Amino acid sequence: MRLRGVIFDVDGTLVDSQADILAAMAGAFEAEGLQAPSCGAVLGIVGLSLDVAIPMLAPTLDHGACTRMVQGYKDAYVGLRRLQGADVSSPLYAGAREALLSLKGQDDVLLGVATGKSRRGLDKLIEAHGLDGVFLTKQVADDHPSKPDPSMILQAMRDLGVEARDTVMIGDTSFDMDMATGAGVSFIGVAWGYHEVARLAGADVVIEDFAQLEGALETVWSKTDV
């Protein structure tokens, strides 16, 4: 049986964590006596590892201040999650659960995650949404260079035992798309995330909702079956 790998981004693709991301980033900046960046600026860096994202948002700060802000963001995010619960603070997008469970039920499809989240954050989110056992490989910022470096996808393929031609990355940002390109895999963009659809112009397919996902996967895989 020929195995297929489907690797998902998390924030902006599976869950809408926008409110907590913006609040945590504002808290990190305010702790340093700085004005918080605009909503657009913050959402523009979602997906990058924090040690890359924060210097992009505050390019004049020294390394020590950026390091404090990274920790400040993490602390604020954990506090928000504890206050509301991860299932409330980062709700699944409509249709996400159904799409994941449908794919998991297919014997030739193996699921994974490639995210800028920490392992602790990802595990808490998966637990809160009752998705334990859905993802056979979980690649996080703790273990890899920041997106768009292809390291996460390359390791996910090794874990799943799938070839690049049989692997699809699904995400909402140009960082996800560039990571997929670097790993030599197909990319399906989602229109509901944090980057404008225009930034996903290089995607193999862009979908408007999760109901279109399985059809998009079949379209992508049909091109590699030749």
Residues marked as catalytic = 9, 11
3-state secondary structure of 108: coil
DSSP 150: T
User: Using an 8 Å Cβ cutoff, are 168 and 179 in contact?
Assistant: no
Report how far apart, in Å, the C-alpha atoms of 179 and of each of 32, 78, 184, 219, 223 are: 32, 27, 9, 20, 20
HEC profile of 170-222: EECCHHHHHHHHHHCCEEEEECCCCCCHHHHCCCCEEECCHHHHHHHHHHHHH
Question: From CA 186, how far away is CA 172, in angstroms rounded?
Answer: 14
Contacts of 84 (CB under 8 A, 6+ apart): none
Quick check: bond before 150 cis, omega within 30?
no
HEC profile of 53-80: HHHHHCCCCCHHHHHHHHHHHHHHHHHH
Angle of helix 96-104 relative to helix 213-224, nearest 10 degrees?
A: 40
